[in-house]
Amino acid sequence: MNRVRKVKTVETSHVFLFILILTLNSALCFADDVYTFVIQKQQAKEKNRWSLEDWLDTRDRMRIQDLWFAVHSPSPYEYKVGGSYQLGQSGSPRNFNTSEAYFAAYATIVGLEVRYESGMDQRWFGLFNFRVFGYHDQSTNITLQAGLRNSSSSDYSFNNALAGAELTFYLRRYFGLEGMYRHYFSSTPNSTGVTSSGDRFQAGAFIDFSALRFYGDYYSDTETWISQSGVALGMRVYF
What would the pLDDT profile of 140-190 be if each residue is shown by its tens digit?
Answer: 999 999 999 999 887 778 999 999 999 999 999 899 999 999 999 999 887
Report the pLDDT value the prediction gives residue 10, as an integer from 0 to 100: 46
20: pLDDT strictly greater than 60: no
Mean pLDDT of 118-135: 92
pTM: 0.70
Could you tell me which residues come within 8 angstroms of residue 100 by beta carbon, excluding any fewer than 6 positions away?
A: 83, 84, 86, 115, 116, 117, 118, 232, 234
CB 182 within 8 A of CB 145: yes
Report the pLDDT value the prediction gives residue 176, as an integer from 0 to 100: 96
- How far apart, in whole angstroms, are the C-alpha atoms of residue 132 and residue 10? 91
Return the percentage of the chain with pLDDT > 70, whole number.
72
60: pLDDT strictly greater than 90: no
